[in-house]
Amino acid sequence: KNQVEQSPQSLIILEGKNCTLQCNYTVSPFSNLRWYKQDTGRGPVSLTIMTFSENTKSNGRYTATLDADTKQSSLHITASQLSDSASYICVVSDRGSTLGRLYFGRGTQLTVWP
Amino acid sequence: EADIYQTPRYLVIGTGKKITLECSQTMGHDKMYWYQQDPGMELHLIHYSYGVNSTEKGDLSSESTVSRIRTEHFPLTLESARPSHTSQYLCASSGTGQVNQPQHFGDGTRLSIL
């Protein structure tokens, strides 16, 4: 069964600290993995996308890694800010985002305290 | 920033009423989607469309219906609302041509049926 599991379910950190969110998946065949940020009361916004051949991709203070062999991805947030408080959702596609099915994780709820 | 709009943002209504949730996008995207999202849970695809006059049911069974008469408009209708329909409904769209295009999400409609 194709699944996407995220951990931790929730995380509280102090402003300025770093954190790492995890995503494990069993989706096959694998096409790409995308991390979304969803602010409270808003729709998800894409942060990064990684295909099979990519193992690291950065977007400002966000760095995503992918290990396609172990089917694991992580999202590292550096020097967290209050605005980073949101749910971070891992989404895996099995045949490309435009044609294939998307499998969503339940998200990690990140809270950044001042 | 994606141009996809959902109205209303919030709706509280009694059981048995007919409801239409609006979704419009100005990006000329062929593909549009409706998701249902409950707190702390993953997004579930309930309807999608690959173009005008094309609609398909998603993975999660839903009593709602959709129509796609115009490229930019993808409304969702509940003929007779019930408390079990209480949820957040997210609309998304994606373009064609380039591989791995992201889905752009609206900010959702939070629906409460009394």
| pLDDT score of B49 more than 70 | yes
Q: Tell me the CB-side half-sphere exposure of residue B24, using CA atoms within 13 A.
A: 6
Query: Which chain A residue has its CA at the smallest distance from B89's CA?
Result: A43
Chain A positions in Cβ-Cβ contact with residue B41 (cut-off 8 Å): 106
Average pLDDT, chain B: 91
d(CA A63, CA A48): 8
Min Cα–Cα distance to chain A from B81, Å: 22
Side chain identity at residue A88, one-letter code: Y
B27 close contact with A: CB closer than 8 A: no
Nearest CA in chain A to B42: A106
Task: Tell me the pLDDT of chain A (114 aa) as tens digits.
Answer: 779 999 999 999 999 999 999 999 999 888 889 999 999 989 999 999 998 888 999 999 999 999 999 999 999 999 999 999 999 999 998 875 555 678 999 999 999 999
Whether pLDDT at B47 is above 60: yes
| Confidence band for B2, pLDDT divided at 50, 70 and 90 | low
- Residue A63 — left, alpha, or beta (φ > 0 → left; ψ -120 to 50 → alpha)? beta
Contact A98 B42 (CB under 8 A): no
Which pLDDT does position B97 carry in this prediction?
64
Per-residue confidence at B34, pLDDT binned at 50, 70, 90? Answer: very high
Instruction: Give yes or no for B39 touching A (CB within 8 A).
Output: no
Q: Do A98 and B94 touch (CB under 8 A)?
A: yes
- Tell me if A49 and B102 make a contact (CB, 8 A cut-off): yes
In DSSP terms, B56 is beta-bridged to B48
Cβ neighbours of A30 (radius 10 Å): 19
Query: Chain B 62-101, CB below 8 Å of chain A: which residues?
Result: 90, 92, 94-96, 98-101
Q: What is the mean pLDDT of residues B82-103?
A: 86
Q: Mutate which of A27, A97, A99 to test chain B, going by most B C-beta atoms within 10 A?
A: A97
Subunit contact B107:A34, Cβ cutoff 8 A: no
Q: Where does residue B19 fall: left (phi above 0), alpha (psi -120 to 50 degrees), or beta otherwise? A: beta
Long-range contacts of B76-80 (CB under 8 A, 24+ apart): B76/B20, B76/B21, B76/B23, B76/B34, B76/B47, B77/B18, B77/B19, B77/B20, B77/B21, B78/B18, B78/B19, B78/B20, B79/B18, B80/B15, B80/B16, B80/B17, B80/B18
Beta carbons of B101 and A93 less than 8 Å apart: no
* pLDDT tops 70 at residue B63: yes
Q: Which of A43-52, A57-66, B6-15, B18-27 has the lowest mean pLDDT?
A: A43-52
Chain A, nearest residue to B88 by Cα: A41
> Please, where are the H alpha helices in B27-109?
none
Tokens describing residue B25: 């996008």
CB-CB contact of B36 with B63 (8 Å): no
